[in-house]
Amino acid sequence: MARAKSFDLPIFAALAVVMLITRSHSLSQFVHLPDTSLASFFVAGFYIRSRLAMPALFALGFAIDVVVIKGMGGSDFCFTPAYAMLLPAYGVMWGAGIYAARLFRAGLSSLPAIIGLFAAAVLGSEILSSGGFYFLGGRFADPSLSGFMPRIARYFPMTLASALTWGGLAALCHGVAHHVLRDQAAKDRA
């Protein structure tokens, strides 16, 4: 499916809605959904042409966090000066999405390479965000590389599983949309 500009707004809106639902944990009383932010930035980079989408998604995530902390009584433990490290962390996902869209055709044959790139981007993003929090957040006495590595080993598998789940759902939506649009085009030609 080509990256048509006409799909930018609906894709951005869908990503914004899932980020709002999962990042705010607004459904927590019913079910805890893992945060979609990493997958959302990758998907935005893959599909959305406007360079404004990345800062807009970041601003949305920041606004959600502020509302959750200030308005809903959420924990501010992670809200430190290291929060700024989320910008390059999400930038890694955004850039990987752009790179994947330029390098690979969105199809089954490209899926293993896209998944590999996605997983590598999640690792880079996790190192930036968690490393920033660990080394710059002021929450840990005497941060060291030897103290940080067990944290990556502990938290990265959950982060990767969550991101792959949401990324897989996005790929499934892509496949369904591709078939629907292909079938509609065939009907229009007939």
Q: Could you tell me the end-to-end alpha-carbon distance of the chain, in angstroms, rounded to an integer?
A: 21
**Most confident stretch, 4-18, 71-85, 103-117, 131-145:** 131-145
Residue 169: C-alpha distances to residues 41, 96, 141, 162 (Å): 14, 18, 39, 11
Least confident piece of the model among 29-43, 96-110, 121-135:
29-43
pLDDT above 60 for 4: no
Burial 55-80 (b: 16+ CB within 10 A, else e): ebbbebbeebbeebeeeeebeeeebe
Q: What is the C-alpha separation between 25 and 37, in angstroms, rounded?
A: 13
pTM for the full predicted model: 0.88
pLDDT per position as a tens digit, 17-68? 999 988 876 655 566 678 899 999 999 999 998 989 999 999 999 999 999 8
The pLDDT score that the predictor gives to residue 150 is 95
The pLDDT score that the predictor gives to residue 1 is 41
Q: What is the C-alpha separation between 184 and 180, in angstroms, rounded?
A: 6
Q: For residue 95, name the pLDDT band (cuts at 50, 70, 90).
A: very high
